[in-house]
Amino acid sequence: MTHVHTRARRAGAALAAALTWAALLAGCTGHGLDGVFGKNPAPADLIRISPDDGSRAVPADRRLRVRVVSGRLESVTVVRSQDARRSAVPGRLSADGTVWEPDDPRLALAARYTVDAVARDGGGRRSARHATFTTYVPEQRFTGYVIPEDRSTVGTGMIVSVQFDRQIANRAAVERAIRVTARPAVEIRPHWFGRDRLDFRPEHYWKPGTRVTVTLRLRDVEGAPGVYGQQYRTVAFTIGRSQVSLVDAARHTMRVRRDGRLLATLPITAGAPKTTTYNGKMVVMERLPVTRMNSRTVGFGGEYDITDVPHAMRLTESGTFVHGNYWAPEAPGHSNVSHGCVGLKDVRGGGSDTPAGWFFDRSLVGDVIEVVHSDDKQVAPDNGLGGWNMSWSDWTAGGAVDQS
């Protein structure tokens, strides 16, 4: 009896060992016993993922690709983790089902990618592969600052201006990453001023009611060697009514036209003979109910320091404004006494019923003010939003991407 029990225990142990060994083999290959005899390739042999599993500091231009050496891919899921957010990476299979690639060929930087792929081999057996890799983390980034403000309503002379906080060497790559569109549609072209500013405008002033969208896709765009963009951003604004004002420095007047109709002719004072006002088309960049004006900040000596200039609207970066003038009440309409600004009659503290107050209340950022008959040169196109002083052919020649 003891002998029978001993044989039974030995047989049971042998069967258990055989089953355990078969299970281990199945676990190692992922294909059961067929894999032991080489009838089915291992997942890493069947499914090839590039970049390799565990890769680090992968550059943005490295190709992400999943393929099979035989059979077809059944599914591919790629997830990108970046800035504490996870998002699926869209892609497409080839017609024969052997290759998967992402829709966007460039990888995001400072990101972790997780790839899960399932395939069926030539014999119809399924195999799965999991891989992860991380991309290069840049030490230097650049940002673009957009004018005008998001959701603003602006005048018909508004020029979209993107100012970068670093010098851009790869201007074509950065230009391609910024798109400006309009409804109703109109051709909009870019122009570079130096290597840190990119402006956009149509050939003529915008039509009232136009909706403009500025899309920045600068993240991971290499703007200069080792310097990458860091933002996805959209700015949208609306073009309001048309208002264009003509300043005649010789006649000491400003004619204000709204949608082509003359609203008013206002008396002004322009730049004195030794500090004349620029000629040309200038665009209102900002509106300030009151501001301080100090001659030392614009390249003069200590000629003036007025702490409460009312109804001020900036026209150039160099310091040209249209503003209220209460300290020379007899000058508007009669003589030019300013240091280059256009002055309208006002009172201290700013009056709503003065010419300056009336004009300020009816003006928008983006309105055009054109100066003529001043004994000075034309304002430079990059001094403020002065791009309307360039011909369309000169403007379009300033892009970095060949659009011929």
> Is there a contact between 388 and 264 (Cβ–Cβ < 8 Å)?
no
276 inside domain: yes
> Does residue 259 sit in the same domain as residue 364?
yes
Pick from 389, 365, 350: nearest CA to 315: 365
From 225, 240, 255, give the residue that closes a domain. Answer: 240
pLDDT score of 98 more than 50 = yes
Tokens in use for 55? 């890769």
Indicate the pLDDT class of residue 3, thresholds 50, 70 and 90. very low
Q: Is 341 a catalytic residue?
A: yes
4 has a pLDDT exceeding 70: no
Exactly one of 191, 252, 311, 323 is catalytic; name it: 323
In total, how many domains does the chain have? Answer: 3
Buried b (16+ CB within 10 A) or exposed e, 370-389: bbeebebeebebbbbbbbbb
Q: Residue 305's pLDDT is what? A: 81
Q: Which of 10-24, 146-160, 261-275, 298-312 has the lowest mean pLDDT?
A: 10-24
Q: What is the band of 85 on the pLDDT scale with cuts at 50, 70, 90?
A: confident
223 and 229 Cβ atoms separated by less than 8 Å: yes
The pLDDT of residue 38: 46
Question: Can 323 be counted among the known catalytic residues?
Answer: yes
Question: What's the whole-number average pLDDT of the chain?
Answer: 89
Say what the pLDDT of residue 40 is.
Answer: 61
Q: What is the CATH number of the domain that holds 88?
A: 2.60.40.3780
Mean pLDDT over residues 221-243, rounded?
96
Q: In whole angstroms, give the CA distance from residue 316 to residue 308.
A: 20
Decide if 153 contacts 364 (C-beta within 8 A).
yes
Q: What is residue 42's predicted lDDT score, i.e. its pLDDT? A: 74
Residues 374 and 293 in one domain: yes
Same domain, 224 and 254: no
- Least confident among 22-31, 115-124, 189-198, 346-355: 22-31
Same domain, 105 and 193: no
- Between CA 57 and CA 150 the distance in angstroms is 35
Where residue 183 sits, what CATH number does that domain have?
2.60.40.3710
Q: What is the pLDDT of residues 280-326, one digit of tens each?
A: 999 999 999 999 888 776 667 767 788 999 999 999 999 999 999 99
Q: Would you state the pLDDT for residue 404? A: 53
Range of the domain at 80: 35-134
Residue 239 has pLDDT above 90, yes or no: yes
Tell whether 397 is covered by a domain: no
Q: Are residues 223 and 107 part of one domain? A: no
Q: Is 271 in the same domain as 330?
A: yes
CA 107 to CA 60: how far, in whole Å? 5
Last residue of one domain, picked from the residues 240, 273, 292: 240
Q: What is the DSSP letter of 373?
A: S
SS3 at position 6: helix
CA 307 – CA 309 distance, rounded (Å) = 6
Where is the domain boundary, 134, 154, 184? 134
Looking at the fold, whether 172 and 276 belong to one and the same domain comes out as: no
pLDDT band, residue 26 (cuts 50/70/90):
very low
The answer to whether residue 27 is domain-embedded is no
304 is a domain residue? yes
Position 295 scores a pLDDT of 72
Residue 23 lies inside a defined structural domain of this protein:
no
Pair (362, 257) in one structural domain: yes
**Within a domain: residue 232?**
yes
**Are 108 and 147 members of one domain?**
no
Q: Which of 188, 194, 193, 242 is nearest to 214 (CA)?
A: 188
C-alpha span between 137 and 5 (Å, rounded)? 67
pLDDT, tens digit (0-9, with 9 covering 90-100), for 374-384? 999 999 999 99
- 253 and 159, same domain (yes or no): no
Point out the catalytic residue in the list 31, 191, 252, 341: 341
